[in-house]
Amino acid sequence: MRIAVFLLLVIPFSVNAQSSYPNKPVRIIIPFAPGGASDFVGRIMQPKMSELLGQAIVIENKPGAAGSIGMETAAKSVPDGYTVFLGNVGSIAINPAVLPTASNPLRDLIAITQVVDVPSVLIVHPTLPVKSIRELIAHARANPGKLNYASPGSGSLDRLEMEILRKLGGLDMVHVPYKGGAGPANAGLMGGETQLMFSTAASAMPGIKGGRVRLLAVTSAKRMEQVPEAPTVTEEGYPDLTASSWQGLFVPTGTERAIVERLFAVAQQVMAAPEVIARLKTGGAESITSPSSVAFAKYVADETQRWARIARDSNATAD
């Protein structure tokens, strides 16, 4: 009898708690500095997500350790739905393979849904006398150890893409990792601190459009509408470089399933909004959502295995 009374008291409270979510601002942790692809995507999502949830969405940039600091902050947060993590292929799927101290996102976070897919671009400083991947490889071979390539960190997709190119071309180049994400790395390249890098299209587009970097190729399977003159890596003869940077939403493990499903539904609406799609497109990002949170979790697990293999094959390690 006492148990029955207890359940009658507790169950309505739990249902009401879930139905009232959210009743205060929700923060989205972005594990990179402003100016990068993740910040670009998060701030485009912010207004529509706030509108649909009926609460303020607070963006919190927590850069460092190739995204691991932000990821661990999110993973250790109270699992109540008020901390959401905008993770990408680097912070979620690559870091565990190249950073020995990185946490395990598959254990510590719940995957909600993918939100975008962002192809990479191979860009060089305008002073570098090359206009194609073949010319770049020839120049690098003629100048061993003299070219510096930038990346947002050891655990980034950009780093591994360059490691693949180095292996394919037998190139001797110096890795210059930047703290804070793609924004600082792109700034370093535009400022002449480095000579080349792979970068997400969203991060590199301002430099490309402004003529501060030269675009050699895109890593997408087909040419990008924003820069149709740029060939794909497959057209250039390097299909192994085809890749893209996905981003998705996560919450700490332990978050109630009802909250996960609410955030999943809201994210689907956000990413289907015409104004969101249009703004993402200007930066080379494509709105893509998962059919379910379970499907996204499987995709993340598969990507983690894939990039762990590539990291091993490329001998990529933390700097």
The 10s digit of each residue's pLDDT in 101-150 is 778 999 999 999 999 998 899 999 999 999 999 999 999 999 999 999 99
Q: What is the overall mean pLDDT for the chain? A: 90
Taking the CA atoms of the chain, what radius of gyration do you get in angstroms?
21
Instruction: Give the three-class secondary structure for 317.
Output: coil
Q: What is the mean pLDDT of residues 146-166?
A: 89
Strand partners, 286: 117
**Is the separation of the CB atoms in 43 and 10 below 8 Å?**
no
**Is the separation of the CB atoms in 72 and 79 below 8 Å?**
no
Q: What is the mean pLDDT of residues 179-195?
A: 91
The 10s digit of each residue's pLDDT in 268-291 is 999 999 999 999 988 888 999 999
Instruction: Reply yes or no on whether the pLDDT at 2 is more than 60.
Output: no
pLDDT band at 8 (very low <50, low <70, confident <90, very high): very low
- In the numeric block, which tokens belong to residue 163? 């490691």
The 10s digit of each residue's pLDDT in 59-99 is 999 998 888 899 999 999 999 999 999 999 989 999 888 88
pLDDT band at 197 (very low <50, low <70, confident <90, very high): very high
Instruction: Give the three-class secondary structure for 242.
Output: coil
**Is the separation of the CB atoms in 307 and 89 below 8 Å?**
yes
- For every residue of 8-27, which 3-state class applies, written as one string? HHHHHHHHHHHHCCCCCCEE
**Is the separation of the CB atoms in 63 and 69 below 8 Å?**
yes
Question: What pLDDT is attached to residue 243?
Answer: 86
Q: What is the mean pLDDT of residues 298-302?
A: 96
Separation CA 208–CA 211 (nearest Å): 5
Question: What pLDDT is attached to residue 254?
Answer: 98
